[in-house]
Amino acid sequence: MSAPARPVEGRFFTPAIQIMLALWGLGTVAGLYRFTHGLGAATSMNDGYPWGLWIAFDVVVGTGLASGGYAMALLVYVFNKGRYHPLVRPALVTSLLGYSVAGVAVAFDLGRFWNMWRIPVSVWDWNGTSVLLEVALCMMAYTAVLFLEVSPALLERWAASGREDRAALARAWLPRVERALPFVVAVGLVLPTMHQSSLGSLLLVAGTKLHGLWHTGLLPLLFLLTAVAMGYAVIYFESIFSSVAFRRPLETRLLGRLGVFIAGVIAAFVVVRFAGLFLSGRIGLTVSSGVHSFFFWAETLLFLGAAWLFMQQGVRAHAPGQLQAALLALFAGAMYRIDAFLTGFNPGQNWVYFPSLPELFVTLGLVATETMAYVFLVRKFPILAGVTAPASRTVPAAAARQGVVS
Amino acid sequence: MAEMTRRTALRTLGAAGAACAALAPGEAEARVARQPDPEDHGLLVDVVRCIGCRACVTRCKEANGKPPDVRTVAGAAYDAPVDLNATTLTVIKRWAGEREAGFVKAQCMHCVHPACASVCMMKALHKGEHGIVEYDVSKCVGCRYCQIACPFNVPKFEWASVAPRIVKCELCRHRAKDGKGPACAEVCPRDAVTAGKRGALLAEARRRIAERPRAYEREVYGETDGGGTNVLYLAPVDFAVLGLPELGRDPAPALSEVIQGGIYQGFAAPLVLLGALSIVTWKNARAARKEEER
């Protein structure tokens, strides 16, 4: 835990943030409309497509994109690659934000949202065969775990702050949190392994509705692999994004060494998927299913393209290639998940679904809120490493903490 | 039992277990399947007898306090639901085969092993008394997973409401205290809908087939389809023509329950994983601390 992470500081209300605020406003208006007029008025969802954009994108894709914390924790704390430590904290922050946004999206989506509290509380009503219950409980627990994992950043700031009461609190809690951290990290690895695979298992029951190119008993494994791939890809994206946005040095070489590993994960996904299709005698569907075949190949080519570019990073790391690789992998993973939940889903009887404007506004508003929260947090708290902080704040968090511990 | 334990151990290998279950589901699915209970309550729908008068639709709405589904055609208003929906628990639809055509009733099938109840987080939908698939709104969060899961597209959602419920046929169980059965069966002028116990209904279905073998398909839909349903169908044509899905003998939620149950049996796999990861992360953290001290 020697990463000298520092607050970025600087002005918060940049033009980009002002645009996000406008999107937040649109999302809020659309959200109010949903709560006052009901889901039927605000969304395009119907009895055939009871899950729409909010579940398929905000929750299923959103938590996939929020798998960065999971991916990095696996690398640093399990495979013990300490050199990647500077990437862990920003990854945990985006994961925390991503899962929080998913939770808010679920509150928008649930018809009887005021009953939500029953899910973690009414233990005697828990249905052991419900995949969704497992996903819901795991995601709630994981959000709490992510908060614990991120909390040292908050406590370090307080420890270094001038206010004596806060500093005392931080000094008392930092060592405790850090002692518990190995166990917290382990819990934070088990939970996403469970619910990211279970996101795929959610669709196992829909055998008569989900197209054969997506419906397979291997769904949990395929979703877990996409979570890992998207998790590492989002680390690339975030690192490059924050370098450009906050003028900190690129982590090109550090990221480059990861490339071969990510390529391997993506290759495993493609191999497992094709093996499943071969073994179930469905390989013909890849050419005979019209628009579904098109989407299948689009996903596959995006994945393979991403794997190829990631592989190159192991040989010669360069930032533009990394950004391309990351974007391809993120698109591929997002597309696979959207296709499994919407494009490949056909309830029959001529039902159609395309998200309504309020649905899009709510989703855009949530993404904007998430981005604003990230910018706010990295400006105020010691999250990013390699930041050249102004002279007034050069007390490095690690140094402040050493004083605390001794 | 020894066989079970060994299989359980295999399953707890997590992802590998899932892959095994996924690739050889047949035998495993038979294991989670429940047996139909001949004492369960159900319906026998005889498509040969149905003349499409829709008395059942109207009577059902009265008995369940549902408003008419008004559609205006050329200036005239009709109570004309085109499908099951938030105000329609049973509906009559037209079907047409190559030579014949007729009418078919749709409502909840009251599956022996229902997908909706299998996926419901808090057992809002559950198998109740007499095998009726019941809905308890107090436990419902409105997630609509039941709608994703039901192969018959039966559960409907009150989209227009700000306090929406799931709506579906519950075999008029609220009328049982008055000694009454399902309203649709009570009103049917042709006895095309018969209410009764599953075992008796199945015997009656077989009797009708034996009596007029040329009028009926030889199978009874729901006897084994999708693990069995308590609503049974007799038809003059292939059931697919009526729009009934081909489900095979396994219950719709079997694959999901076998794979999910395989991975999480006794919660052993997650706990083993947690233990292993805790040891690794703790050792790594200690090593890192020692390095820092040096």
| Amino acid type, A346 | N
How much is the mean pLDDT over chain A?
Answer: 90
Residue range A347-371, pLDDT digits in tens: 987 899 999 999 999 999 999 999 9
Asked if A392 is an interface residue toward chain B (Cβ–Cβ < 8 A), one would say no
Distances (CA, A) of B81 to A151, B157, B201: 55, 15, 28
Place of tokens 């690129």: A250
Mutate to test the interface with B, among A1, A187, A205 (most CBs of B within 10 A): A205
Nearest 5°: phi and psi at B72?
Answer: -100, 120
Considering only CA atoms, which of A99, A174, A75 is closest in space to residue A382?
A174
Q: What is the pLDDT of residue A384?
A: 86
As a three-state string, the secondary structure of B209-223 is HHHCCCCCCCCCECC
Q: What is the pLDDT of residue A315?
A: 72
Residues B145 and A348: their CA atoms lie apart, in Å, by 17
Asked if A22 is an interface residue toward chain B (Cβ–Cβ < 8 A), one would say no
| DSSP per-residue string spanning chain B | -HHHHHHHHHHTTTHHHHHHHHHSHHHHHHHHPPPP-TTSEEEEEETTT-----HHHHHHHHHHTPPP-EEEETTEEEE--SS-BTTBS-EEEEEE-SS-EEEEEE----BSS-HHHHH-TTSSEEE-GGG-EEE-GGG-----HHHHH-TT---EE-TT-SS--EE---TTGGGGGGT---HHHHH-TT--EEEEEHHHHHHHHHHHHHHSTTTS-SS-BTSSGGG-BSEEEE-SS-GGGGT-----SS-TTHHHHHHHHHHHGGGHHHHHHHHHHHHHHHHHHHHHHHHHH-
Residues A216 and B22: their CA atoms lie apart, in Å, by 7
Q: What is the pLDDT of residue A243?
A: 85
Kindly report the number of other CB atoms within 10 A of residue B185's CB atom.
20
Residue range A51-76, pLDDT digits in tens: 999 999 999 999 999 999 999 999 88
Q: What is the pLDDT of residue A251?
A: 81
- A290 by DSSP, 3-state: which? coil
For the ranges A42-56, A155-169, B220-234, which has the lowest average pLDDT?
Answer: A155-169
Residues A385 and A196: their CA atoms lie apart, in Å, by 28
| Amino acid type, B73 | V
Residue range A313-353, pLDDT digits in tens: 877 778 888 899 999 999 999 999 999 999 999 998 789 99
Laid out side by side, the sheet with B193-197 consists of B193-197, B41-46, B231-234
pLDDT confidence of A254, banded at 50, 70, 90? confident
A389 pLDDT above the threshold of 90: no
Distance from CA of A320 to the nearest CA of B (A): 33
Residues B272 and B267: their CA atoms lie apart, in Å, by 9
Long-range contacts of A312-315 (CB under 8 A, 24+ apart): A312/A259, A313/A255, A313/A256, A313/A258, A313/A259, A313/A260, A314/A256, A314/A257, A314/A259, A314/A260, A314/A263
CB B134 within 8 A of CB B117: no
| Percent above pLDDT 70 for chain A | 94
Q: Collect all residues of chain B within an 8 Å Cβ-Cβ radius of residue A116.
A: 141
Considering only CA atoms, which of A197, A201, A204, A257 is closest in space to residue A227?
A197
Q: Collect all residues of chain A within an 8 Å Cβ-Cβ radius of residue B162.
A: 35-38
Residue range A89-105, pLDDT digits in tens: 889 999 999 999 999 99
pLDDT confidence of A255, banded at 50, 70, 90? confident
Count of residues making up chain A:
406
Buried b / exposed e along B188-206 (16+ C-beta atoms within 10 A): beeebbbbbbbeebbebbe
Could you tell me how far CA B157 lies from the centroid of its own chain?
A: 15
> What residue segments make up the domains of chain A, in order of their start?
1-202+361-386, 206-346
Residues A146 and A185: their CA atoms lie apart, in Å, by 9
Q: What is the pLDDT of residue A2?
A: 44
pLDDT confidence of A403, banded at 50, 70, 90? very low
pLDDT confidence of A161, banded at 50, 70, 90? confident
Report strand pairing: B41-46 vs B70-73.
unpaired
A397 pLDDT above the threshold of 60: no
Residues B218 and B230: their CA atoms lie apart, in Å, by 18
Mutate to test the interface with A, among B13, B119, B146, B265 (most CBs of A within 10 A): B119
Distances (CA, A) of A247 to A243, A244, A251, A326, A388: 5, 5, 12, 20, 9
Kindly report the number of other CB atoms within 10 A of residue B111's CB atom.
31
A16 or B50, which is more confident: B50
Residues with Cβ within 8 Å of B75's Cβ and at least 6 positions away in sequence, in order, are: none
Q: What is the pLDDT of residue B10?
A: 37
Residue range A109-153, pLDDT digits in tens: 999 999 999 999 999 999 999 999 999 999 999 999 999 999 988
Q: What is the pLDDT of residue B30?
A: 55
Q: What is the pLDDT of residue B49?
A: 96
Domains of chain B plus CATH, in order, are: 2-33+255-293 (no CATH), 41-249 (3.30.70.20)
Residue of A nearest to B280 (CA): A78
Residue of B nearest to A85 (CA): B288
Q: What averages of pLDDT result for each successive group of 10 residues across chain B (294 residues)?
A: 40 44 50 85 97 96 95 91 95 94 97 97 96 97 97 97 97 94 96 97 97 95 96 96 93 94 88 93 85 75
| Amino acid type, B272 | V
CB A139 within 8 A of CB A171: no
Residue range B102-118, pLDDT digits in tens: 999 999 999 999 999 99
For the ranges A22-26, A175-179, A197-201, which has the lowest average pLDDT?
Answer: A175-179
A80 or B56, which is more confident: B56
B119 or A238, which is more confident: B119
Considering only CA atoms, which of A298, A297, A323, A300 is closest in space to residue A312?
A323
Residues B223 and B217: their CA atoms lie apart, in Å, by 13
Measure CB to CB from residue B141 to each of A110, A202, A224 and give the nearest one: A110
How many beta-carbon pairs under 8 angstroms link A with B?
206
Q: What is the pLDDT of residue A330?
A: 96
Q: What is the pLDDT of residue A9?
A: 81
pLDDT confidence of A211, banded at 50, 70, 90? very high
Q: What is the pLDDT of residue B29?
A: 56
CB B138 within 8 A of CB B128: no
Provide the whole-model pTM.
0.91
Mutate to test the interface with B, among A117, A208, A218, A224 (most CBs of B within 10 A): A208
Q: What is the pLDDT of residue B139?
A: 96
Place of tokens 């999250």: A383
Distance from CA of A352 to the nearest CA of B (A): 14
Residue range A183-192, pLDDT digits in tens: 999 999 999 9
In this complex, do B160 and A348 lie within 8 Å of one another by their Cβ atoms? no
CB A233 within 8 A of CB A263: no
Residue of A nearest to B19 (CA): A218
Give me the half-sphere count of Cα atoms (radius 13 Å) on the Cβ side of residue B67: 5
Residues A99 and A66: their CA atoms lie apart, in Å, by 7
Place of tokens 């992470």: A5
In this complex, do B274 and A186 lie within 8 Å of one another by their Cβ atoms? yes
Average pLDDT, integer, range A205-213: 96
Distance from CA of A205 to the nearest CA of B (A): 5
Residues B211 and B234: their CA atoms lie apart, in Å, by 13
